[in-house]
Amino acid sequence: MVEGIFTIRNKLGLHARPAAAFVKKANEFNSSIWMEKDGTRVNAKSIMGILMLACPAGSQVKLTVEGNDEDIAIKELGSFIESGFNEL
Amino acid sequence: MKGITVQSLLEDKSYGLELELIAGSKGVGRKIYNPRIQKLGLVITGHMVYLHPHRIQILGNTEMSYLKSIGDEEGERIIKELCKNDVVCFIVTRNLKVPSFFLEEANNRAIPFLRSKLITSVFIERITKLLEEKLAPSTTVHGVLMDIIGVGTMIIGKPGIGKSESALELIAKGHRLIVDDVVYIKKMGAIDLYGESPGMIKNLLEIRGIGIVDIGRLFGVAAVRDKKRIDLVVELVEWHVNEEYDRVGFREDKYRLLGIDLPLIRIPVSPGRNISTIIELACRNFILKKQGINTALELEEKMLSITKVEEKH
């Protein structure tokens, strides 16, 4: 299991479009992936969970990844978040 | 850990506490973490051994009349001693008058002092309800919660296995959606788990290929529900040829959540199996079992009675 804390950097935060892109990316991995914000943890492979977190710009989220491709998954998903979901 | 501020007690409208602040306004930001209250009782005589300062302290007729009877000097001594314990909050009921030395001490130590018009028994009942509701242990589970013929059913399983699709079919059959994807669960009292939706995704369902849809608007008010007690957990699993699934109905698996065991039924998913109908069937069978009718056991008894007779011959 690997964990990492990442910052939402794009201006509009983690809204519907980047959430969809993120979930799509998360589903490319076999590992179980969880996203946590302020103590609420959701399955990062489901868009409803991610949307529920309603992360504004500047907020921090924790990713927890567990599975055979966890290292590559957290690296790619983490940098996707830090890159502002390619919206910067 | 969850907590509520004293301020939020003051602002409350839905539990009818009818509270006003009479002293210690500096302390209204204090947080209450303990869902239990304490009636001050013997503590007011100076017996502090069983004082629980982290619980809301309630004073009624008994305490206030005792305080009056012992005179101001002795009263002040006890109150000073009591307030040293950093009590989270005092509440006096029946709109009783509080001696000025008590209010002063509360002010000095920034302990909020509240007053209610209600009689003590009614007040305790209401505030206990509020505290239980607000401070209940809670968690979130990745799944769908539905009300299926009155049975609160939580459907869980890996992403993509078809939880939301099954939910849609169940909604089309007239069952009700509580929440898709993120079930917010609270433990109420000792044995009940209640599930509800986080505000952001209320009434919404995500169907791959269509997107996010509003079930409340599409199917009407009767297709959704705010809150439901969870009775049953259904796990959708991938069908594996080598795995043995329950063929008779003897297995009684459990799903443990916040210290409570819920009955768990595993349904293998494969092409050609109508999952929503099977889930509905599981709920009907759940009701039957609750009424004391267990088809698997009945069949077993029937079989045994016949095989035993044959043994005798």
Q: Does residue B228 lie within any of the structural domains?
A: yes
Whether residues B55 and B195 fall in one domain: no
Whether residues B127 and B226 fall in one domain: no
**pTM exceeding 0.80:** no
Whether residues B213 and B271 fall in one domain: yes
Inform me whether the C-beta atom of residue B201 falls under 8 Å from chain A C-beta atoms: yes
**pLDDT given for residue A39 in this prediction:** 84
Q: Does residue B214 lie within any of the structural domains?
A: yes
Name the CATH superfamily for A2-82: HPr-like (3.30.1340.10)
In this complex, do A41 and B140 lie within 8 Å of one another by their Cβ atoms? yes
Inform me whether the C-beta atom of residue B182 falls under 8 Å from chain A C-beta atoms: yes
**How much of chain B is in helix, strand and coil states, percent to nearest 5?**
35, 30, 35
**pLDDT given for residue B1 in this prediction:** 65
Inform me whether the C-beta atom of residue A52 falls under 8 Å from chain B C-beta atoms: yes
Q: ipTM of the predicted structure?
A: 0.83
Residues of chain B in contact with residue A49, where contact means CB-CB under 8 angstroms, are 142, 181-182
- In this prediction, residues A3-11 reach a mean pLDDT of 93
In the β-sheet with B227-229, what is the strand arrangement from edge to edge? B227-229, B192-196, B176-188, B138-148, B151-157, B232-238, B260-269, B253-257
In this complex, do B140 and A45 lie within 8 Å of one another by their Cβ atoms? no
Predicted confidence (pLDDT) per residue in B227-283, tens digit: 999 999 999 999 888 777 788 888 889 999 999 999 999 999 988 889 999 999 999
In this complex, do A48 and B160 lie within 8 Å of one another by their Cβ atoms? no
Q: Does residue B303 lie within any of the structural domains?
A: no
Total residue length of chain B: 313
Please give the distance of CA B258 from its chain centroid, rounded to a whole number. Answer: 10
Confidence of residue B3 (pLDDT cuts 50, 70, 90): confident
Whether residues B173 and B232 fall in one domain: yes
Rounded to the nearest integer, the mean pLDDT of chain B is 92
Whether residues B70 and B177 fall in one domain: no
Whether residues B154 and B290 fall in one domain: yes
Whether residues B273 and B130 fall in one domain: no
Q: State the CATH number of the domain containing residue B167.
A: 3.40.50.300
pLDDT at A87 over 90: no
Which of these three, B134, B149, B175, is where a domain ends?
Answer: B134
In this complex, do A47 and B212 lie within 8 Å of one another by their Cβ atoms? yes
What percent of chain B clears pLDDT 70, i.e. is strictly above it? 98
Q: Give the residue numbers spanning the domain of B100.
A: 4-134
Predicted confidence (pLDDT) per residue in B50-103, tens digit: 899 999 999 999 999 999 999 999 999 999 999 999 899 999 999 999 999 999
Find all residues with CB under 8 Å of B11, minimum gap 6, and list them.
none
**Residues B224/B203, Cβ–Cβ less than 8 Å:** yes
Residues of chain A in contact with residue B212, where contact means CB-CB under 8 angstroms, are 16, 47-48, 51
- In this prediction, residues B115-138 reach a mean pLDDT of 92
Confidence of residue B313 (pLDDT cuts 50, 70, 90): low
Domain-by-domain residue ranges, chain A?
2-82
Inform me whether the C-beta atom of residue A54 falls under 8 Å from chain B C-beta atoms: yes
pLDDT at B2 over 80: no
- In this prediction, residues A62-77 reach a mean pLDDT of 95
Mutation target to probe the A interface, by most A beta carbons within 10 A, among B141, B144, B163, B182 is: B182
Whether residues B57 and B143 fall in one domain: no
Confidence of residue B24 (pLDDT cuts 50, 70, 90): very high
pLDDT at B312 over 70: no
Which of these three, B110, B134, B158, is where a domain ends?
Answer: B134
Question: How many helices and strands, by DSSP H and E, does chain B display?
Answer: 9, 17
Which of these three, B76, B106, B134, is where a domain ends?
Answer: B134
Whether residues B29 and B118 fall in one domain: yes
**pLDDT given for residue B215 in this prediction:** 97
Whether residues B148 and B259 fall in one domain: yes
Whether residues B105 and B183 fall in one domain: no
In this complex, do B200 and A52 lie within 8 Å of one another by their Cβ atoms? yes
Inform me whether the C-beta atom of residue A15 falls under 8 Å from chain B C-beta atoms: no
Whether residues B250 and B226 fall in one domain: yes
Q: State the CATH number of the domain containing residue B77.
A: 3.40.1390.20
Confidence of residue B46 (pLDDT cuts 50, 70, 90): confident
Number of structural domains (chain B) is 2
